[in-house]
Structure 1
Amino acid sequence: MYTIVGNPRNRSLRAMWALEELGQDWTLEAVAPQTERMLAVNATGKAPVLLVDGTPIPDSVAIVTFLSDRHGALTFPAGSLERGRQDAITQFIVDELEGACWTAAKNDFIHPEDKRSPVKPTCAFEFELAQKRLERLLGEGPWLMGETFTIADILAAHTLSWGERMFQWPLTETLAAYKDRAMSRPALGAAMAKGKAMLEAAA
C-alpha cells in the first residue's frame, strides 16, 4: 500500500487521482506543508510526498510519473515517440499553466505580506495565454494524447480547476468542457471521497 503525505486540498489530489485510476491501495497521512513532519520526508517542505516502502518520493509530477511507469498505465512507454510528446505536454502544463497559478498563490497568501508583489493581473494574462496554447495541444481530443487518458490530463484538469476555483479565472468553452470531462471520471470521485473520509477520521 502507498502512503500519501499531504492533503487532498492541494496538489496531493493528483497523486490520489492517479492511484485510483491505477487501481492501487493507498492511505493518507494528513500533513501541512513546511511542518516538521513534512520537512522530515521532503527537504523542500512541499506537499505531496509518496512513501513507497518507507522511501519518500516528493513532487506531484514526479509521483504520478513514477506511478504510471511502475504500473504501466496512464502513460506511454519510456523512449517512445508518444512518450516524448506526452512529456513535452506535461512540461508545458507545469511551466506555463501551473506557473501562473503558483506565482499568483505565492503572492496572494504564501509569501510574507512584505514580500508579496501585485502580480495577479499578469498571472491572469499568462493563464489565459496558456489556455490558448493548451487548446491547440488538445486538438480534437478527447484527451491531450488523443484517445488515451494520461497523467498529462490529470495535471491539466487539476490546474485548470485550480485557476478557476482559487482565482476565478475564466476557462475557455473548450477547456471548461475538457476539464469537466476529466473531472467526471469515477477515479477522481473515489479519490476525493476517500481523502475526505481519511481527513475526518484523523481529525
Structure 2
Amino acid sequence: MYRVIGTAKSRSFRVLWMLEELGQPYEHIPANPRSEGVAQFNPAGKVPVLIDDGTPITDSTAILTYLADRHGGLTHPAGTLDRARQDSLTQFLLDEFDAALWLAARHSFILPEELRLSAIKNTLRWEFEASQRTLVHRMGEGPFLMGEVMTVPDIILAHCLDWALIARFPVVETRLSEYLDRMRQRPAYRRAAAG
C-alpha cells in the first residue's frame, strides 16, 4: 500500500486524486511542509512524498508520472506522439501555471517579509491570464485537456486552477472555468478533497 505524506491543501492533493482515479489503496499522512514527518523523507521539507515499498518519491509531477506509468492509467504509452504531446502539456502547465502561482505564494507568505515583493503579483497575474489564452488553443476537443482521455496534465491543470482561485488569480477563459467545474464533479476528485 502506498503512503502519501502531505496535506490535501498542498500539491499532495494531486497525488491523492491520482490514486483515487487509479483505484489504488493508500494511507494518507496529512503532514505540513518542513515538519518532522516530512523532513525525514525529503530533506527539502517539501510535500508531497509518496512512499512505495519503503522508498520515498518526491515532487508531485514525478509521482504522478510514476503512478501513471506503473498502473497504465491516465497516460499515453511512452514513445508515442500522444505521450510527447502529454509531456509537452505537462511542462507547459508547470512552467506557466504552477510556477506563477508558486512564485506568488512565496512573495505572499513563504519568504521572510523583508524579501517579499508584493508588486510582482500583478506581473504574475498578467502572465497567468496570457497563459490561459495560450492553453485554450492547445486543448483538444472533449471533456479533458487532450480530448477524450484524462491524463496526468488534467490533474495538474485542475489543481492549478483551484489554487489560482484561492490566490485570487482570475480564471478568465470560460472554457477553463467550465473544465474546472467538470473536474470538480469527478467522484475521485471529491474523495481526495474530503481526505
Say whether the fold is shared (TM-score over 0.5). Answer: yes
Contact 2:2 2:26 in 1 (8 A): yes
Aligned to 2:191: 190
- Deviation of 1:188 (Å): 0.7
Change (3 A) 1:139 1:76: closer
| Structure 1 residue matching 2:24: 3-state secondary structure | coil
1:43-62 equivalences under 5 Å are 43-62=43-62
Q: Give the number of equivalent residue pairs.
A: 194
The one-letter amino acid of 1:6's match is G
Deviates more, 1:29-38 or 1:172-181: 29-38
**Offset at 1:27?**
1.1
Which residue does 1:20 correspond to in 2?
20
Q: How high is the TM-score relative to the length of structure 1?
A: 0.92
Mapped contact 2:128–2:169 kept (Cα < 8 A): no
Identity of aligned residues (%): 47
Matches within 5 A, 1:33-48: 33-48=33-48
Gaps of at least 5 residues in structure 1 are: 196-203
Report deviation, 1:139: 4.0
Q: Which residue of 2 aligns with 1:68?
A: 68
Alpha-carbon distance between aligned partners in 1 of 2:171 and 2:84, rounded to the nearest angstrom: 30
- In 2 relative to 1, CA 85–57 (structure 1 residues): closer, same or farther, beyond 3 Å? same
- List alignment gaps of at least 5 residues for structure 2: none
The alignment's TM-score, normalised by the length of structure 2, stands at 0.96
- C-alpha separation in 2, matches of 1:181 and 1:134: 17
Partner Cα distance (1:46, 1:173) in 2: 33
From the superposition, tell whether residues 82 and 139 of structure 1 become closer, same or farther in structure 2 (CA, over 3 Å): closer
Instruction: After superposition, give the CA deviation of every residue in 1:60-107 in whole Å (9 maximum; x if it has no partner).
Output: 111111000000010001111110110000000000011110110000
User: Deviations 1:16-69 (Å, cap 9, x if unpaired)?
Assistant: 000000000011112111123312111221110000011100011111110000
Aligned equivalent of 2:81: 81
Q: CA–CA distance in 1 between the matches of 2:191 and 2:39?
A: 28
